[in-house]
Chains A and B, each alone.
Chain A
C-alpha cells in the first residue's frame, strides 16, 4: 500500500515537472518571439532615423508604383525605387530596392 502511494507520488511529481517545463518553454518561446518582434520594430525605426538617402520608405511607400508589386518576392519588402530611362530607349524603367525580411540568411 505504501509502495503504491509512493508510485502515485512519483508519477504526480514527474507530471508536475513536465508541465512546468512545458510552461517554461512556452513562456520562453513567447518571450523570444516578442523579443524578435521588438527588435524588428527597432531596426525599422533605426533605418528611418539613420539613413537619409536610400531609406525613402516613409516617403515612397504610399507612392509605390503598383506595377512593381509583382516584382517584390514574398521574402522581401519594398524599400525604395528610382524611376527613369536606364538604357536610353526613351522608356521609363525602374531601379527597385528591396529589404530582406524573410530570414534567408
Chain B
C-alpha cells in the first residue's frame, strides 16, 4: 500500500560547502484521498522540517492553506533578553492541477525585536553615556529615530521570480538557514 521509497535522497545542492546539514529525522508525506474514498501516497520530503536538535530553539509547524489548495510551513525563532529578536519564516506551497504537484509559490520572512521599548531604552541609555554633550533636542531626535527602528517589523516576501520553480519533494529548508 505504501508507495514511498526508504532511500534518503542525498542533499547535493548545498550552496555553502563548509556547511554540513544535520541528518534528516522527520519525513513529510502527502497522502491523497481519491473519489472512491481510498487513500494513495503522493510524494515525500525529507528536508521540510527541522531535526529535533534544532527544535530546542526553533518551532516548526505545518498548517493547511486557508484556500484549501496547499499548505504552509513555518519556522520560527525567538531569542532571549531585552535586545533579542524574533523571526518567522513561512513557505507557501500551492497545488498545481497541470502537474499534479505542489510548488513553492511564496516565502515570507518576518523579523523584529521582542521588546522594542526595552531594547530602545538600553540603546538610548548607552547613547547618553557615550555622548554626554548631547542636548535634549538631540536626544529627542535620536529617540524618534530609534523608535522607528526598534518598533519596525521587517517583512520580506519572495516569489518564484526570486527562487525559481521548486516542487514539494525537492524543497530544501537548509538552503534558507545558512
Q: Report the bound CA distance from A99 to B55 in whole Å.
A: 14
Q: How many residues of B contact A (CB 8 A)?
A: 39
A23 interface residue (CB < 8 Å to B) = no
- Residues of the A chain whose Cβ atoms lie less than 8 Å from the Cβ of B69: 85-88
Q: Give A88 to B63 CA distance when docked, in angstroms.
A: 15
Interface residues of A (CB under 8 A from B): 43, 46-47, 50-55, 67-68, 70-73, 75-76, 79, 82, 84-88, 91-100, 102, 104-105
* Contact among A86, A98, A99 with B95 in the assembled complex (CB-CB below 8 Å): A86
Q: What are 22 of the A-B contact pairs (CB < 8 Å)? A: A51-B55, A53-B74, A68-B31, A71-B41, A85-B64, A85-B68, A86-B30, A86-B71, A88-B95, A91-B33, A94-B33, A95-B28, A97-B29, A97-B62, A98-B26, A99-B25, A100-B24, A100-B25, A100-B26, A104-B6, A105-B8, A105-B23
Q: Who on chain B is nearest to A97 by CB?
A: B28
Q: How far is the CA of A76 from the CA of B46 in the complex (A)?
A: 12
Interface contact tally, CB-CB below 8 A: 117
B109 within 8 A of A: no
Q: A50 contacts which chain B residues (CB < 8 A)?
A: 52, 55-56
Chain A residues closer than 8 Å to B8, beta-carbon distance: 104-105
* Contact status B25-A54, CB under 8 Å: no
